[in-house]
Amino acid sequence: MKRFDGFMFGANLGGWLSQYDDDSKEHFDTFITEEDIEKIKKAGFDHVRVPVDYVIIETEDGAPIDEGYEYIANCIKWCRNNGLNMVLDLHKCYGYSFDPLDTGASKEKFFYDKDLQERFYKTWETIAERFSGDADMLAFELLNEVVSPKVVEEWNEISRKCSLAIRKYAPVSYIIIGGVCYNSVTSVPLLGKPIDDKIVYNFHCYEPFIFTHQRAFWVENMPKDLVVEYPGSLDEYRDKSRELSPDLADAINRGEITEIGPSYFERIFVPAVETAERENVNLYCGEYGVIELADTESAKRWFKDIHSVFDKYHIGHAVWNYKEKDFGDTVQKCFF
């Protein structure tokens, strides 16, 4: 399979321009600086993934916010100074949020509302026009985590139209597209045909979920006293996953899974790998990681196993999260 050179080992900068707890200027000016980019480079990473919420770069009526774009431009400059590439990920767009904590936001309206979609295309045209000159090191990720499994065809058409809109300004930039069910690896075969050879298929992987998200406060029915080590027995993982919703425990219960270890990842990645090979596109895992409530040594073993499969199939990847956001402490202990 094609190797996603330049985007093989990245760190997410979540909590800076997206999913932040503090919307002050001081936060945006100080949460990530060039010193952080230098630190990431020294730790052996080749790129960063930068999640950005639309409210950072445009007003509610769609007018560009230059100060917000300046944060992105600064990060591009810092990455250039340190020999890193960058993924610009539109984490939340006008009219859509994946976040389960955004309880009042519809997970489907965007995919049926033409006005919201036109706004989405305009946002991306503005981004592409501003950063078209950075195609040598900057990739565009259309949207983070489409939640609903019901909007496969709608999302495929939206992503196709958006990619064509971007191409008017950035004809050779990588465009990264993920699928439904929170960018599940199982949704990769459902993605639309690539419009050209610079389309990248994307998925996220927090499997086995009962390990990577143990005691996560935002997960419905997650036991607050749960402790899971890695690797454990398959029977233990399945038993502890019973309280989770079926979609969160889906992978662990599949018949083809025989053990917890590298073969677990290999088996669940197979359909995505085969699809990427058939369409001759790069494959990218934009998020993966282990909650900081997990045992650190277990987390290290988990990273070793998933990395072995990423490397085997030349799958680019960006760990969640560089710092904070419930996963950062694990990343700091394992990679810095």
**Which is catalytic among the residues 58, 141, 207, 287?**
287
Question: What's residue 271's pLDDT?
Answer: 95
| Stretch 24-38: mean pLDDT | 98
Residue 85 maps to a domain: yes
**pLDDT, tens digit, for every residue of 72-86?**
999 999 999 999 999
Domain count, the chain: 1
Residue 4 maps to a domain: no
**Which is catalytic among the residues 141, 145, 292, 324?**
145
CATH of the domain at 138: 3.20.20.80
Q: Is 145 a catalytic residue?
A: yes
Q: How many CB atoms lie within 10 A of CB 168?
A: 11
Question: What's residue 56's pLDDT?
Answer: 98
| Stretch 190-214: mean pLDDT | 97
Tokens 């952080």: give the residue.
36
In terms of phi and psi (left: phi > 0; alpha: psi -120 to 50; beta: otherwise), the region of 35 is: alpha
What average pLDDT does the chain have?
96
Residue 5 maps to a domain: no
Residue 310 maps to a domain: yes
Residue 59 maps to a domain: yes
Question: What's residue 67's pLDDT?
Answer: 97
Tokens 């992978």: give the residue.
251
The pTM (predicted TM-score) of the whole model is: 0.96
Structure tokens that stand for 73 in this block: 């431009």
Residue 1 maps to a domain: no
Residue 2 maps to a domain: no
CB 202 within 8 A of CB 286: yes
**pLDDT, tens digit, for every residue of 149-197?**
999 999 999 999 999 999 999 999 999 999 999 999 999 999 999 999 9
**pLDDT, tens digit, for every residue of 113-134?**
999 999 999 999 999 999 999 9
Residue 216 maps to a domain: yes
CB 10 within 8 A of CB 48: yes
Asked if residue 283 has pLDDT above 70, the reply is yes
The three state secondary structure string of the chain is CCCCCCCCCEEECCCCECCCCCCCHHHHHHCCCHHHHHHHHHCCCCEEEEEEEHHHHECCCCCECHHHHHHHHHHHHHHHHHCCEEEEEEEEECCECCCCCCCCCCCCHHHHCHHHHHHHHHHHHHHHHHHHHHCCCEEEECCCCCCCHHHHHHHHHHHHHHHHHHHCCCCCCCEEEECHHHHCHHHHHHCCCCCCCCEEEEEEECCCHHHHCCCCCCCCCCCCCCCCCCCCCHHHHHHHCCCCCCCCCCHHHCCCCCCCCHHHHHHHHHHHHHHHHHHCCEEEEEEECCCCCCCHHHHHHHHHHHHHHHHHCCCEEEECCCCCCCCHHHHHHHHC
Question: What's residue 289's pLDDT?
Answer: 98
Question: What's residue 256's pLDDT?
Answer: 87
Question: What's residue 245's pLDDT?
Answer: 86
**pLDDT, tens digit, for every residue of 225-280?**
999 999 999 999 999 999 888 888 888 988 889 999 999 999 999 999 999 999 99
Q: Exposed/middle/buried for 295, CB within 10 Å: 0-12, 13-18, 19+?
A: middle
Tokens 């989405």: give the residue.
120
Which of the four pLDDT bands, split at 50, 70 and 90, describes residue 104? low
Q: What is the largest CA-CA distance in the chain?
A: 54
Roughly what angle, to the nearest 10 degrees, separates helices 328-335 and 296-312?
80
**pLDDT, tens digit, for every residue of 312-324?**
999 999 999 999 9
Which of the four pLDDT bands, split at 50, 70 and 90, describes residue 103? low
Question: What's residue 51's pLDDT?
Answer: 98
Q: Which domain holds residue 155?
A: 10-335
